Amino acid sequence: MELPQALRAALSAADEEYLTALSNKGTVNRAKKDLAAARPVVQRTGEASVTLSLGDTVCTIAAPLGSSTCSCPSSAMCRHRLTAILWLKEEASREAAPPAAPSPEAGPAEDLTALLAAFPTDQLVRQLGERRVSALVQREADGEGAAIREGSAVTVELPWVPATVRFIVPLAHSSCTCHSRSFCVHRAEALLTWQLRRGAVTPEALLAASRAASGSEGSRREICALVQEALADWMRTGLSRLPPSARDTAERLAGLSHVGGLPALERCLRRLHGELQGYFAHSAAFRTEGLLRRMSEAWRLSDALRRAGDREAAALAGVFRDEYRAAGDLQLYLLGLRAVDLPSGYAGTVYYFWDIRKHRFYAYRDLRPTFYEGRRRPERAETTVWELPGTLRQAWNCRVNLSGARLSGEGNLSATAQCRGTLLQKCPPGTVLPPSAVMEDFSSLLPRSRPGRDELRRLALLRPARGERQAYNQVEQRFTLRLLDGMGRDVWLTVRYRDWERDVVEALEKLAARWEQAPGLRPVFFGELYREAGRLCLYPIECFWDWEGTP
């Protein structure tokens, strides 16, 4: 059979190591078995390719072999293509091969060496970030680096991941055991290790480059393209085969978005990272639908940012939570506080204030990132800000006057040193907040609970006419109290039992028992509204038995 010269050369250069690098060992073995029973029929021989049918599938084998295609659904190198390659290889070897012209596809290992050495180190450093590059240099210095084997493919084993990367010519067809089709972080780590070992770059130059790269910004469109590439990769691979390194990818992309001035996308990716953490930690609360929702948000936002002009992109990019504007003097009342552990990777305490003059809620968030720590610190220091005489927790139900306060667009207070606070007397909330702030008619709560609204705009104070305690849900570990207004409209107060919610659930159980004994009581609930399963729900932050009396 007459084969195109470039293809013949590529076939003769493709040994088992090369084919394994193109797919994986299992698929190569399967293709060898299939070859025994295969009856390929050559349909067409083109200038640079051969099209042949194997049963129901049609394969087009071309040089370089990684660019061959198949009519089966797989977008990776499938067993059909490998079977066809092995069959063509046998056919080619039967004939007396003409002297193969040197071509990059079929080149000896020197070509691969040249390609690996010429790969831009800066690009690898940017992809990995300062932390990974430093760790890689340290591992090499300690002699605990990757194991490298060189042949028709360069195989780099990264035992600390663990992952195995196989480089071949062309580099785009190299593979990684993480199943990623794109140039993943493992490929970057493997290639950088190879460059270090070969002396193509020195550890000192590498560390200097990584420090310089950590301050540089990627363009908006580049970052969005990277986000979409990663999401497409995960969607093609599927969750069941997704490597744990996907978490690192999400975190790295969030970091890139932060540096690139895309806070909305950063928050999106942090939430996505949280979902992936839940999946890989086998969390019982993990839902594939939730991850899909996060991926969808990230995809649609990055797509919109990529297509938008500069002015539109500025609006889509959002603002960093720490962008504060001068708010002058504020008269506040500390209404409540709660501990939070957010899926976006932050944990701490949120303090909720009522603005006495403007009749709106503000928050001071004492949150720390947890995504750089292996686990949360068990004890956290109490919050002290604005030079108040004591901790913020001690200012609960006290009036606080601030001068030189700074506020973010979302209503978050800054801990700026320019702001001075004066702690005034403790007083009942009913004497500070007007009666109109407390909802006795629940019909007005529905618009406030709309998903997507800021948390502070979903806060509400409710005074129900009565409450109906529901049986504790043992399966979902959930405490529920049905709150009803005078017209029978209900809001469901719900708390799921978690470690940090234990005190809340216990307090609510006592409250419910007391309310059952004294149904004439009119407690006021302060909390965050949301919707779930066709119900209007409230996550409780505080409950006041005696709204107008002593707190």
Partner 1 sequence: MRACLDAMEARLADLLQSGLDTGGTDAAAAFSRLAEECEACGLHTGRALMDRLTRLLEGRAHALEKEDAPLLDALFEAEGYITLCRERWQETEIRRSWQRSQKKWDGTNETEGGTHR
Q: Which chain residues interact with partner 1 by CB under 8 A?
A: 60, 69-76, 228, 231-232, 235-241, 287-289, 291-293, 295-296, 299-300, 303, 442-443, 446, 450-451, 484, 487-490, 531-536
Rounded to the nearest whole angstrom, what is the least distance from the CB of residue 239 to partner 1 in the complex?
5
Rounded to the nearest whole angstrom, what is the least distance from the CB of residue 56 to partner 1 in the complex?
11
SS3 track for 454-502? CHHHHEEEECCCEEEECCCECCCCEEEEEEECCCCCEEEEEEECCHHHH
**Number of CB atoms found within 10 A of residue 238's CB:** 9
Query: Measured from the CB atom, is 16 or 303 closer to partner 1?
Result: 303
Query: Measured from the CB atom, is 71 or 473 closer to partner 1?
Result: 71
Query: Measured from the CB atom, is 30 or 321 closer to partner 1?
Result: 30
Query: Measured from the CB atom, is 380 or 450 closer to partner 1?
Result: 450
Give the span between the Cα atoms of 398 and 307, in whole angstroms: 49
Query: Measured from the CB atom, is 70 or 437 closer to partner 1?
Result: 70
Q: Would you say 351 and 432 are in contact if contact means Cβ atoms under 8 Å apart?
A: no
Query: Measured from the CB atom, is 402 or 483 closer to partner 1?
Result: 483
Rounded to the nearest whole angstrom, what is the least distance from the CB of residue 74 to partner 1 in the complex?
5
**Residue 311 burial (C-beta neighbours within 10 Å; 0-12, 13-18, 19+):** exposed
Rounded to the nearest whole angstrom, what is the least distance from the CB of residue 4 to partner 1 in the complex?
18
Query: Measured from the CB atom, is 96 or 533 closer to partner 1?
Result: 533
* Parallel, antiparallel or unpaired: strands 438-439 and 459-462: parallel
Rounded to the nearest whole angstrom, what is the least distance from the CB of residue 546 to partner 1 in the complex?
27
Q: Would you say 420 and 329 are in contact if contact means Cβ atoms under 8 Å apart?
A: no
Q: Which helix (H) or strand (E) holds 208?
A: helix 203-214
Rounded to the nearest whole angstrom, what is the least distance from the CB of residue 451 to partner 1 in the complex?
6
Rounded to the nearest whole angstrom, what is the least distance from the CB of residue 236 to partner 1 in the complex?
5
Backbone angles phi, psi at 350, to 5 degrees: -115, 130
Rounded to the nearest whole angstrom, what is the least distance from the CB of residue 330 to partner 1 in the complex?
34
Query: Measured from the CB atom, is 76 or 367 closer to partner 1?
Result: 76
Rounded to the nearest whole angstrom, what is the least distance from the CB of residue 231 to partner 1 in the complex?
7
Q: Would you say 319 and 304 are in contact if contact means Cβ atoms under 8 Å apart?
A: no
Any idea what DSSP says for residue 201?
S
The b-or-e profile of 73-89 (16+ CB within 10 A means b, else e) is eeeebbbbbbbbbbbbb
Give the span between the Cα atoms of 245 and 280, in whole angstroms: 10
Give the span between the Cα atoms of 411 and 407, in whole angstroms: 6
Query: Measured from the CB atom, is 420 or 463 closer to partner 1?
Result: 463
Any idea what DSSP says for residue 413?
B
Query: Measured from the CB atom, is 70 or 459 closer to partner 1?
Result: 70
In which residue are the tokens 């071949």 written?
Answer: 168
Rounded to the nearest whole angstrom, what is the least distance from the CB of residue 431 to partner 1 in the complex?
31
- 72 Cβ neighbours under 8 A, 6+ residues apart: 57, 78, 80
* Parallel, antiparallel or unpaired: strands 175-176 and 163-167: antiparallel
